[in-house]
Structure 1
Amino acid sequence: MSLDVTRAETHAHEARRRLEHARTSRLAQLRALDESERGPEDHLLSAQRTAMRRVLAEIEEAFTRIDDGTYGVCVSCAKPVPAERLEILPYTRHCVACRRRTA
């Protein structure tokens, strides 16, 4: 097994670990929102639930990118997303420059 393959497997393992942690955290937050005593008509609570579900979908998409080998590559410019950005936001699809353009 080459060093590059071992390195890629290590990166994929670390990415999965970070994504699993992010998913677990977001699911706990969503459960807490669902258990809130406020009613479904609370617009702020509804917006928070929607945001949590959107992030959970992004996390699942990131798992797919790991499986197909495109994780860590910006979907806009196809350049590598810096490792530091992936550590902070493991489900990101964009590098900082492209994210600024899409925001």
Structure 2
Amino acid sequence: MPLDASPADPRPGRLTAHEARQRLEHARSSRMAQLQALHESGQSTDANLRSVQTEAIQRVLKEIDEAFTRIADGSYGTCLGCRKPVPAERLEILPYTRYCVACQGRTTA
């Protein structure tokens, strides 16, 4: 789902760059809050579990930063596997995703 560069009258099923940035900012804020809560849990959480969770959150934050780069270069919303548009519904759930569902399945299989 490529971005609609025009802020006025976006076509259905497409995000404006502004909307994509808003979704990514929200995802980033949520992950930062999770990271903060994890660090504040300190001794009450198993150190190994905390480490694994911290790494997972940091990995998502990196993916979010990469999504901002894709917005800047115009490739946001295009699957890196098949080069087809990523469905709007998928981007609503995972605004930082790089792949459509089919290609994501192939990369994790």
Question: Could you state the TM-score of these two structures normalised by the residue count of structure 1?
Answer: 0.88
Instruction: Tell whether the 8 Å contact from 2:5 to 2:16 is kept in structure 1 after alignment.
Output: no
Matched with 1:80 is 85
* Larger relative contact order (CA 8 Å, sep ≥ 6): 2
Matched with 2:49 is 44
Identical positions, percent: 64
Question: Could you state the TM-score of these two structures normalised by the residue count of structure 2?
Answer: 0.84
In the alignment, structure 1 residue 33 sits paired with structure 2 residue 38: yes
Instruction: Structure 1 unaligned segments of length 5 or more: list them.
Output: none
Matched with 2:19 is 14
Out of 52, 75, 80, which is 1:70 matched to? 75
Moved over 4 A (4+): none
In the alignment, structure 1 residue 90 sits paired with structure 2 residue 95: yes
In the alignment, structure 1 residue 54 sits paired with structure 2 residue 68: no
SS of alignment partner, residue 36 of structure 1: helix
Superposition RMSD in Å: 1.9
CA distance in 2, matches of 1:5, 1:68: 12
More helix by share: 1
Q: Which stretch has the larger CA shift, 88-97 or 10-19?
A: 10-19
| Structure 1 residue 100: Cα displacement | 0.6
How many residue pairs get aligned? The number is 99
